[in-house]
Amino acid sequence: MGKRLIIVLALALLVGLTFSAAYAEVQNVKVSGDITMSGVLRKHFGLMAATAGDKSVLKQSFLMSQTRVRVDADLTDNVMATVRLINERIWNGQNDLNTANSANSTNIDLDLAFVTLKEFLYSPLTLTVGRQNIKFGNGLVIGKSGASANTTNIPTDLSERRAFDAIRATLDYDPLVVDLVYAKVRQTTTVDRNDIVLSGVNAAYALNKKTNISGYFYLKNDDFKAGAAASRPQSDKVKTVGVLVTSTPIDNLNASLEAAYQFGRNSDATNLNQKRHSAWALQAMADYTFVKVKTTPKVGASYTYLSGRDTGNGTVNEGWDPMFYDQALNGITYALLPMTNMSVLNLKASCKPVEDVTLAANYGYYDVAQKNGGTLTSPSTYDAGAVYLNAVAYTGESHLGDALDLTAVYDYTEDVQFSLTGGLFRAGNAITIASDKQVAQQVIGSMKVTF
């Protein structure tokens, strides 16, 4: 019922904006969206040949649809309203019940719903209020709120849901742009101290036409814990401060360097004792395009360091908090490995053998940042809550594994794109896997139509 109500309200908004001059004078209305059809095959995402748990950890095979429809309305006095609806589902025929967590729900959910006020109060200020996409820099810290386990029946690492319910104030003092953000990342009830709140500031300054520098500070205040309020007297407060430099030092060479430090406090497993938080992240990226070569080859490399928790240090949590990242260093590792306690080298290459076809390869070499870093649990869920790897112990060794992605993209027209991606991940000796450990495999073929 609630999902149908959202559809009715969205349509009412569109009709009201279009036909009711008493409420708003519409200057322009734009309807856009996209439909993506995909076939997914996954094998051995549990990294072993047998398990007592759900056998879909070993093999998954399904077709799915992801549909988004967006309406943008330009009103008077620099006022704009945006609504986007989304449906993500596995192909399995029509499910008329549309119950929560249904095996094949055809529910339509609210993906975006925000109002933009340009030149609010004075000309440099733009205010954006509502459910919106927010991504800064390369998405190492802020980029995706993420789909919760019960939101969609497809694996959450494949979901297109990224939006934050937020208030964003943008001050444009060209060449300086400052963004102030306050977001309710999670709040399932109206009960006090039952939420996750993100707040912070990102300041970007263009030093010249080739170099930009950004500095940021974010606070994640987490009161969303199990148990009664009396058992969690203090909130988790993780503060992240960092700087990102992006540059094109020579033509066709793009490079970036980002460093961040986290501090604050975390609760232990009982939600009673607080530990000091102290963690680091470093990421360097570079790629070069040979534009004068017929096949337009491109080569690139990146290094990512995210500190790990030292289990021997009882008073300090040195593990990097993934915050709300939007980065996939490799396809399978994005689903299996949490964005913490890792040292990763990626090597990339791509080319266009013919005008409308792009071939790409991405190799990743993964080590742990801290050899005795506790346990590992996959960030992605599937089938409304199951995880691929659950509390897998680190062994005290260094090598997490090797990953390889191969991708072919065919631009059929300006509006239609076909892609085929194959991926492998061979686990290393840093995590505990049974003697019959297997190579995780993935193949995803898709067709995307944009309108």
* Structural domain boundaries enclosing 348: 2-450
Nearest to 188 by CA among 229, 223, 212: 223
Q: Is the pLDDT of residue 168 over 60?
A: yes
Quick: pLDDT tens for 326-372: 999 999 999 999 999 999 999 999 999 999 999 999 999 999 999 88
Q: Is the pLDDT of residue 198 over 50?
A: yes
Range name among 262-271, 286-295, 325-334 with the lowest pLDDT average: 262-271
Q: Tell me what pLDDT residue 27 has.
A: 82
Q: Which DSSP state fits 396?
A: S
User: Residues 6 or more apart from 121 whose CB is under 8 A from it?
Assistant: none
Contact 75, 95 (CB under 8 A): no
Mean local confidence (pLDDT), 197-205: 97
Q: Is the pLDDT of residue 131 over 80?
A: yes
Range name among 23-27, 130-134, 296-300, 305-309 with the lowest pLDDT average: 23-27
Quick: pLDDT tens for 42-73: 999 988 765 555 555 578 999 999 999 999 99
Q: Tell me what pLDDT residue 20 has.
A: 43
CA–CA gap between residue 284 and residue 138 (Å, rounded): 11
Range name among 26-30, 31-35, 371-375 with the lowest pLDDT average: 371-375
Q: Tell me what pLDDT residue 386 has.
A: 85
Mean local confidence (pLDDT), 290-307: 96
Give the three-state DSSP class for 274. Answer: strand
User: CATH code at 73?
Assistant: 2.40.160.100
Mean local confidence (pLDDT), 125-136: 97
Domain count within the chain: 1
Q: What are φ and ψ of residue 333, in 5° steps? A: -65, -25
Rounded to the nearest integer, the mean pLDDT of the chain is 87
Q: Tell me what pLDDT residue 310 has.
A: 78
Residue 271 — pLDDT band, cuts 50, 70, 90?
low
Mean local confidence (pLDDT), 412-419: 97
Q: Tell me what pLDDT residue 105 has.
A: 55
Q: Is the pLDDT of residue 319 over 60?
A: yes
Q: Is the pLDDT of residue 274 over 60?
A: yes
Tell the burial category of 164 from Cβ atoms under 10 Å away from its Cβ (0-12, 13-18, 19+).
buried
Q: Is the pLDDT of residue 251 over 90?
A: yes
Residue 227 — pLDDT band, cuts 50, 70, 90?
very low
Query: What global pTM score does this model have?
Result: 0.88
Q: What are φ and ψ of residue 331, in 5° steps? A: -65, -50
